[in-house]
Amino acid sequence: MDIYKEDACRGKVVFVAGGSSGINLGIAQRFAGLGATIGLISRKQDRVSAAVASIKEAGGQAMGIAADVRSYDAVEAAIRQVRDAYGEIDVIISGAAGNFLAPVVGMSANAFKTVIDIDLLGSFNVLRASYAHIRKPGACVISITAGQAIRPTMFQAHAGAAKAGINNLTQTLAMEWGPAGVRVNAIAPGPISDTEGMARLAPTAEATKALKSKIALRDYGTKRDIADLAVFLSSDNAKYITGAIIDCDGGSVIGDASADALTIPAR
């Protein structure tokens, strides 16, 4: 079956945490374009409303609720509202995140805790609250992680630690929920163009050029690259994939692909 053909996701209900912008909104828009019904949350009502409007303007069906993933009760209420409106949820995308560049000695305990709370506790809240409302068997859960989880990066101790926790949570839940027919995976995007994340992590043209020179494919990815992987993971074509942390990063995480510091000796 062509998993990207028109209407391929019709009948599916997709819940996206952190769905008001960037990569997560790109995922929501892609599923909606393939016929799925979308429920999305983020903190700010105006951003939620704009995201829902963008989906509806393109002909899709969506609802949005302002909820902070740091509040279990708010997340649970939002997921329940989506389930009550649209039925059992087929796909959960857990992608809410916060980030800034800071060395460990440049961040307060509250700064570290803030990112852990949004990324890791927030993921726990979304996944834990979703269980009662997802289709069993058949649901597919996807967390959005990052390569920094396994390849530590300076000034990213908070986000790297949080994403490492998300990787472990993903694989633990894959085992706990597998018997119920629920698959749990994570996508680790590399640097993705036109996102808040890259605006924060590589804010200048110079930083962008330097970063691209270290990537095997020498370029940033697109939101569509990540969205297409999410659609694949949710499809029957991926029915035997669970507990996987899948890099979609142009080869970013495998190592520094620049040869600048190396000189090949004459033979």
Euclidean distance between CA atoms 45 and 32, whole angstroms? 20
Tell me the closest approach of the beta carbon of residue 108 to ligand NAP, in angstroms: 18
Euclidean distance between CA atoms 93 and 112, whole angstroms? 24
Euclidean distance between CA atoms 63 and 120, whole angstroms? 25
Q: Work out the end-to-end distance of the chain between its first and last CA atoms, rounded to an integer number of angstroms.
A: 53
Contact residue for ligand NAP among 39, 60, 64, 95 (CB under 6 A): 95
Nearest residue (CB) to ligand NAP, 24 versus 235: 24
Binding pattern for the stretch 14-33 against ligand NAP, x by CB under 6 A and - elsewhere: ----x-xxxxx---------
Q: How far is CA 98 from CA 25, 142, 162, 191, in A?
A: 15, 18, 10, 15
Residue nearest ligand HXC, Cβ-based: 98
Nearest residue (CB) to ligand NAP, 39 versus 98: 98
Interaction partner, residue 20 (ligand NAP, ligand HXC, none; CB < 5-8 Å by kind): ligand NAP
Contact residue for ligand HXC among 65, 134, 146, 238 (CB under 6 A): 146
Binding pattern for the stretch 56-85 against ligand NAP, x by CB under 6 A and - elsewhere: ------------xxx---------------
Task: Write the DSSP symbol of residue 89.
Answer: B
Best CA proximity match to 218, nearest among 256, 262, 250: 250
- Please say whether the beta carbons of 42 and 102 come within 8 A: no
- Please say whether the beta carbons of 186 and 245 come within 8 A: yes
Nearest residue (CB) to ligand HXC, 79 versus 107: 107
Interaction partner, residue 127 (ligand NAP, ligand HXC, none; CB < 5-8 Å by kind): none
Stretch binding ligand NAP (CB under 6 A), from 6-14, 41-49, 210-218, 250-258: 41-49
Edge-to-edge strands, sheet with 140-144: 61-66, 37-42, 13-17, 91-94, 140-144, 183-189, 245-248
- Please say whether the beta carbons of 141 and 184 come within 8 A: yes
Contact residue for ligand HXC among 20, 148, 185, 234 (CB under 6 A): 148
- What is the token pair recorded at 49? 């409303």
Nearest residue (CB) to ligand HXC, 114 versus 171: 114
Euclidean distance between CA atoms 164 and 206, whole angstroms? 29
Q: Which residues of the chain form contacts with ligand NAP (CB under 6 A)?
A: 18, 20-24, 42-44, 47, 68-70, 95-98, 118, 122, 144, 146, 189, 191-192, 195-198
Q: Which residues of the chain form contacts with ligand HXC (CB under 6 A)?
A: 97-100, 102, 106-108, 110-111, 114-115, 146, 148, 156, 159-160, 163, 196-197, 200
